[in-house]
Structure 1
Amino acid sequence: MRITMIGSGYVGLVSGACFSDFGHDVVCVDKDETKIAALEAGRMPIFEPGLEQLVATNVAAGRLRFTTDLAGAVAGADAVFIAVGTPSRRGDGHADLSYVFAATEEIADAMTGPAVVVTKSTVPVGTGDRVEAILRERSPDLDLAVVSNPEFLREGAAIGDFKRPDRIVIGTEDERAREVMRAVYRPLYLGESPLVFTGRRTSELIKYAANAFLATKITFINEIADLCEAVGADVQDVARGIGLDNRIGKKFLHAGPGYGGSCFPKDTLALLKTAEDYETPIQIVEAVVKVNDSRKRAMGRKVLHALGAPDADVRGKTVALLGLTFKPNTDDMRDAPSIAIATALGDAGVAVRGYDPEGIESAKEVMPDITYCRDAYEAATGADAVVIVTEWDAFRALDLTRLKQVMTAPVMVDLRNVYRRDIVEAAGFAYTAVGR
């Protein structure tokens, strides 16, 4: 099938590359000429394990190409996917749909025959209705259908998630559109990945409800972690104990500094704004957002306490942050806990040194005032504490003897519970974890 992907960012690029690997003819479109030129030269705009090789293989096979020419890419396509950004709108938290609607107008002007337009972007309930209205208004004679097909990709594991999904949600009441989407996903359907057909508005809400629920699990275990510290319990054992209940499950029950990234922060806000518009407040999700925001700031206070505050003056001390991205195996800094932690430390007069295996260039854009280092040991040199913020594999087996030798004071704050207390303390460190 001929597939056009509007938007060559995280979702569009991964989806387009995977579709081409299924054997479809895919064109990825983007207005950013620099990005398209880089992609044509084999340089990825994001870090995602396996993506560079996947793109190179399918470009070489002639199944995947990149362009800034939207009109040429849309003409004759069987399915046109909209995969542009929907960030939180500055000032009110609503999803910014301007990119979606701008792309829709250009698609309408470029379509030449029957086609299915698919919203892959995460959009609030009712967006598909507006997309269809724009298309029919601008191209009233065309045979078209609008489908909602939300993505459920985890950064750092996106290719595996796309090729081995738990489910594929498709929102449409149009039978021809259903057949087109079955053909698009036939390789996965043959592998028994379930296709969940539902109404378009229901499909749009499934995405937000899923992310809000996962964000709730993270926030729940983080609050339980605080209780564990207060009563002398171990949050990891608590998480295992409740996670073995198959009604709950063990995923997203890892205590830490709070959630971040491209999905949970903006999607929980957008869901709250939709509920507000329809006068049906979701108080649980309201609490989740509030607790998560306060938790990131609390992690900064946790580090300051490990340095001796409030009893000791921490001004002039130095802290090494290991891991800056919101999660490992990505270079994404959106709403990363490291930002709030670095801000809290800086406000207290503490110098911050940082290292991340992939996210340094992205981090420089949002944290220009910290010192960036080449590896964990350079970051720890002269530091009064080392803080594990993101659980990259590179930080799971640090040489603790070497680390202690380069530090001014042997203090470790493990915000991801990567290490065992007895091992770290045996190496001569003062050790602080989360919920343990």
Structure 2
Amino acid sequence: MSAPAIAVNQDFGQPVVRTRSLKAPISFGIASVLILLLAFPAGREGHSNFRLADRSSDVPLPDLAMPTAPTVTVCALLMVLGTAFAFLQWSRYRPTPLWFVSLFSVTGVFAFLVWSSADGLVPVTGLLFGAVSLSVPLIFGALGGVIGERAGVVNVAIEAQFLFAAFSSALIASLTGSYVAGLIGAMVAGLLVAAVLAAFSIKYLVQQIIVGVVLNVLITGLTSFLHGALMVPNAALLNSPPRFPRWSIPLLSDIPVLGPVLFNQTLIVYLAYIVVPLVAWGIYRTRWGLRLRAVGEHPKAADTVGIRVNPTRFWNVLLAGAIAGIGGAYFTLGAVGSFDKEMTGGLGFIALAAMIFGGWDPIKATLAALLFGFASNLQTLLVNLGSPIPGEFMSMLPYLVTVLAVVGFTGRSRPPAANGTAYVKE
């Protein structure tokens, strides 16, 4: 879907090649047609009610009632205009801006939510709170993927890191009675899985994707066996970990709507607020980040200037595994409160998709993780609202959003140049 064209640079008179992709405009068009179908042939009457107030908030806010059919129609028309703008950008050999893609996506999701909740009540705070909670492991997994692949090592083993970290955190926290010890154990577990990935892919030059797939299968089988052999017979001793308490930040938690969502959370969520900007700053503003990007983009050039390529890759893959391990701890210490076999449910691969959707950038990958978390929580809400859409389709919603985001809305995304390529010093 790319059509190259040659244009003349007016400043230097040299021909340059510019490419354009129809992926975003076509995806916009498909999304607009779907919302138009909801607006007219499948239009619903009544009002969609949005509850803005939270039970713990001291600020009373009235419910927001919106007429379903007119609201969906207006959103559909706005999306048609957005599609026209995307095609205009394509005709000018310009990419569709990220902020515009985000705005278009929000409009489409809002229209779908209004249509699904006709004569129903949507608790806005609860919807956003659940979205943030479901996004937390995806954020840490995506950050781990960004660091590993920026170093040049494909990390398909995020699912294995999640699962082993969840198992280890439940076991250690149950034995020690400390959720902090469980969190540290989860980071060590993620690091151990990453060490195996690094050893085989960097030292022994095994194909990185194959190592990641094997690790996913291995850890799934290992944790399932240990869960049945150890945890099930001794659940009270080995699978009853303490959960992270919620800590409310004074004043900030009292902000209407967003206060309870962002500032009445657990330690792991607050860690995400720190780790995301820290990793983003480190990658682009520090010597560590420069070396990280150098070995992932041009390892031979990095070696020429004295950077030890393979050790740099090895240690950064370990760091990535430890960060992903924090996400694994959230399953047992922050959400469920115990370990169950295969409890991660493939979210490691969703985190991998968030990393790709975010273009291997920490901030964008975090936003992508929030989108996927919102889609997962929206699925549950719509089922509770009695949406006319079949339940089987609702179960597909998070994964459908993943496919649309990665295939349709990302446009042209380029991984680090040496990603997945082993480096052998000549």
Per the normalisation by structure 1, the TM-score is 0.24
More strand by share: 1
Higher relative contact order (CA 8 A, sep 6+): 2
Per the normalisation by structure 2, the TM-score is 0.25
More helix by share: 2
